[in-house]
Each structure stands twice: as structure tokens, then as C-alpha cells.
Structure 1
Amino acid sequence: MPTVAIVGAGVAGLGAAYRLRETDAEVIVFERRESVGGRAATRRRNGCTVDVGANYCKDGDDRVARLLREELSDGLVEADGPVWTFDADGEISEGRGDDGSKWTYREGLAALGDRLRAASDAAVRTGTEVTGLARDGDRWRVETRDVGGSVDGDGDGATVRADAVVLTPPGPTTADLLADSELGDDGLRSTLVEAASAVPYRTILSVALGYGDRIEAPYYALVNADKGHDLGWVAREECKPGHVPDGESVLVVQPAPEWSRRRYDDTDDELAAAAAERAADLLDDTARERFDWAEVVRWREALPDAGADREALDRGADAGLFFAGDWVVGEGRLHAALASGLDAGDRVDADR
């Protein structure tokens, strides 16, 4: 039985595992964190469910839309309301013309990762970091170390033999892993490292602000269209069924990348106060400066600003090395990452 090792249990890695579920391959997914789903992340606070990474999954890919509507549909809900825009001066305008389905789950977007994990039937080893790869004849040695967490199977640091490897971490992380690996071809390694490290990333903070009263507005969210404001995104989590108790509100405020980089190391209290002040100014509602609670999440490598050189990455296929993730396709959207994982699974299956 062939073995496929997948590095990273975000939706790209889990998508690849899902695609391989009906093959004869043994699929093992390694995830450094203790949870799966990557930026499909959810926090729970004061009776509220808040999506603090990706805010929803769009219907931008037919395969992904079908998967969510069918096999992964349990608990699926849509954010209610359109997305409006604002400019550098804080002027709010109606609509932006791309208000398709905005899916999450009643228990939060993290459920997407949990459902993919269950549907894939793969062995998922959380709390397990892949520290190196080595080409050994026509197979791979996958070196791991245990960094804690729950494990399906034996999670101790170990060497796993695999016939194919799928790499899904962000480009810079993938580049570092490749640089420390033995691919059996230094030219191939340098080509892949260069392709992965060249992908630029945005740093984004995500600040959830809880309020004891309901904010009334004709939109679900506001997005900065001209990239000239300190804030990039402000969303009303109460527009998602089951996320916020009646009569309360939660604003999910995501500052612009430059603001996020500049203030990344500020304390949570400082970030929450600053985000609330800027959101109150944008909404022209001084009451939003006073919140009941806050949750701050930092995403150092949040979204890619471009895609990798696909031709360069494709060179890895001859050695049984494949890539997936939003950085591969150059679109920082959840549906794009999942579609990329499905594509990688297709390629692994076709290559065997």
C-alpha cells in the first residue's frame, strides 16, 4: 500500500487528504498546531462564536460549493447581509458586486476543518512538526518531532516513509523546510525554495469586540476598497446564525496589513482599544469605543499577495513532491485553498 504524507492540516492539506480517501493509499497528515483548519479558525467567548481568521467560505469553486452543500453540509449557515465598501476617508458606499454565498457553520468556521478531517478518514497527527525531508531511493523519509497535542496513532518524533509528499504550509515556511531537506537534486531544491520563498504575504491582526447591545446596520461587513484606510475589514458576527446571542453584537475588526505589521507586538489591550477607536470612527458611533470584551488573534503570514511560480513547483512531481495552498494559486480565499488541496490530491493519485 503506498503512503502519502501531507504536511499541514489547514483546509488545503485536509482537502488533499479528502480527495485521496477512496484510493488505496495510506494518508498521514502532520500538523504542528493542536487543532486543524488553519485560518478557518473560531474562538468562543462570553457565549459568542467568532470566526477570527477567514470570515467565511465563498462559493467561488464548483467542487468546493458542491462539497459544502452536500457531504459537509451539517450545520452549514450563511452570513446574512451584503458586503459594502469604504474608502481612505471612511466614506461608506453600498455594495461591491460580489455578494455570493458566504458560508460558515453554526459552531464556527473551524468546523470545516473538523468535518474535512472526519470525511477524509486520514490519520491526522496534531502537535507533530515535520522537521525535514530526505529522498531515499524512490521514497521519502519524513522526519518529525512531537511538540504536543492530540494524535491519531503514534505521535512521538519519528521517521515516516512515504511514496509522495504534499506540502501545504505558507510559502516561507515551506521554503524553510525545503532548504533543510535532502531532495537528492540540489538544483531542484534551489528551484523549489526560490519559488516558495518568493511569495509575498500580508500580516493581519483580527480583533473581536463584544457589545451588550445590538448594532443595527444594512450590511454584514465593510471592506476597504482603495487600501488607504487603517482598517481593512469590519464585520458583524451577529449576521451569522447561531453565533451571537439575541440583543448582542460582535465586531470583527481586521486592520490593514501595514497597521497590523506596525502594531503586531502591542499588547492585546492596546490593540483592542485602538481597533475599537478606529471602528467607532468608521461607523460614526462613539459607543463602539466601549466594548464588554475583546479577543485578539495574530496572523503573521495571513494572506498571499501573489501566487508561486507553478511551473517551478511542478518540477517536484517527478520526485513525488507536490504543493497546495492559497499561496500556490495566489488567492487568499478559503475556497481557493481547499480547491488547491483537491487538485493536489488529483495529481498525487494520477502520478501513482
Structure 2
Amino acid sequence: MTSPSQSPSEAPSPAAPPDGAIAAPGTAGLVGRSPGQLMWRRFRRDRTGVLSAWIVLFFFVVALAAPLISLLYGKDPTTTYGLNEPGLLNQYGYPVRPNGGISGEFWFGVEPTLGRDVLTQLVYGIRTSLLIAAAATVLCVLTGIVVGVTAGYVGGRTDYFLGRFIDLLLAFPAQLSFVAFTPVVYSLFVSPGKETPTYLRVITLILVLWVLGWMGLARLLRGQVLSLREREFIEAAKVTGASPWRIITKELLPNLWTPILVQATLMLPTTVTIEAGLSFIGVGILEPTPDWGRMFANGAKYYESDITYIFFPGLAMIVFVVAFNLLGDSVRDAFDPRTRR
């Protein structure tokens, strides 16, 4: 109600809702934002996180659109242009043009010795590496959730045996285990002396990266569940007669999305670098299939005379890994604003 000296237009406006609340239309009350809305709002304010998300999205779009890019560009990753077009390579097998043969026809130059197009090799290499890494990461996350939540919630002997199994797998040196186990798995599918098909190499890499990559997330979730299962809301759910499945899916998992998403965003770039490392040393993807690691392996042979060849895949790998790690930090900060980098 306005005072006699005030006109209706001068009446004080209602107080603005505080941060984190939305005024309900047509009412004087306040409607709180959901945790997801608050997380998204905090993430949008983080310019580094938003920029990193766009960079990561760009890499995935490039990987999915590799055939379309190759079609529009007019080159493919397997054609040996240096052997088919005279004057592209010199007598030593290196590009005649400066800077690795960069020109209007070959935007990123050509590969020494064979003269394959670097741009299409890189695009298809990103496609191969991201396919393997994404599939392995999804399997690792799902396995980590199942094992970690089961061990933490059931407890007792189940927790003991699963914990010892995790400790056993963690005892293996990570990099040495990847190198040692990959050829062993190859031998299960192909007889000795025969060439392993590319699709079997892809399946093998996914299996090895999965089997040796889920333990860290499982141990983290086990500790989180051991803490959450003693909380009042879990005890209340048990008193009401809720089944273990309902307690896990409706009470525990919603409180575990933060570590799951953060660990997934940090796990994928690590898996990409591991896959590239395996291809680099010759136990991953081999010729003629394009792959990030294989490009590094070839670049190591040519860098003294043609450093341009390894520049573009190296720069792409650095940008991708840094962007994904920054994205993981931003997701963590958005879920838990109390953390500081």
C-alpha cells in the first residue's frame, strides 16, 4: 500500500530474488533452482571451461565428419601422391616445396617418402584414436560404477574380495602392462605369423584399455559409497522398505555424478595418449590405417629433415589434451563451487 504522498507509479518495486532463486510467475514466493541449473550457470560463467568445451566439441565433430572433410577437400589418407605425381618429392623422398610441401593443394603438406596428404591423415587419425579412446572410457566408467558401488554398498566379504582384486590389478605397472598384454591378446584372435586385421587391433586395444583402466574410478566410488551409506537419508530409505536397487539408483547414484563426470573427463584424454603411445611403439594401429600415434612414429623418423610433418599432429594432440583437462577442472568447479584451482 502506498503512502498518501506517493503516486502508484512511485511505489517501491518488490525485492529482486536472490542469486540461486527464481520468482514464480504471478506469486510472491521464490522457486529455488535445481542443482543441475546451478551447475550449468556456474559452468557458463567459466570462460575457460566454455572455450575448452567448444574445442573438445570441434575435435569430435572433425572425427565424425572425416569422410565428409576428405570428400570436400578432394584427398584421401591412403593415396601416395608423392609416387603418383612427379616433382612432389625430391630424390631423397622429402617434399620439394618448403615447409613440408604446404601449398594450396596440400594445406598441411605431404608425408615424406610416400607423399600422402597430411591433413586427411590427421583427420582420420583423430577419428581412429577418439573412437578407441571413447569406447574404452565408456566401458571403464560403467565397470567402475558397477564394481565400486557394489563393493561400497554391500560391504563385508564382497567388499574385501573386490578390494583385493582392484589392488592386484593396480599393482601392475600401467605402461608396461599395456605394452606386454596387447600382443598377448592379439595372439588369442590370430594364429602366430599371420597379420592381425585392423578391426581386431581396434577391438584388442579397447579391451586392453578397458581391463586395465577402470580400477581408479572403482576405488574412488567405493570410498564415496562407504561414506554415503551411513548418512541419514540412506537409513531413512532402508526404514521405509526400499529395495537395494532403488537405494542405489535413486539415492546413491545422484550423489555420485560429480566424481563420475570429473573422472570421465580426465580419463578420456589419458586414454587417447595411451592409445597413441601404443601405436607409436608398434603394438597398436599399424600401416596403412591412419592413427595419431602412427603419425608420431613416422614423424620421429623424418623430424631432422622435415619437422613440419610432426608439427600438426603434435599441436593437435597438445590442444586436445589441454582442453579436455581444463574442461574436467571446470566441470569439477561447477559441481562443487567450494573447490579452487
TM range (shorter): under 0.3
- Report the structure, 1 or 2, having the larger helix content: 2
Larger radius of gyration: 2
- Report the structure, 1 or 2, having the larger strand content: 1
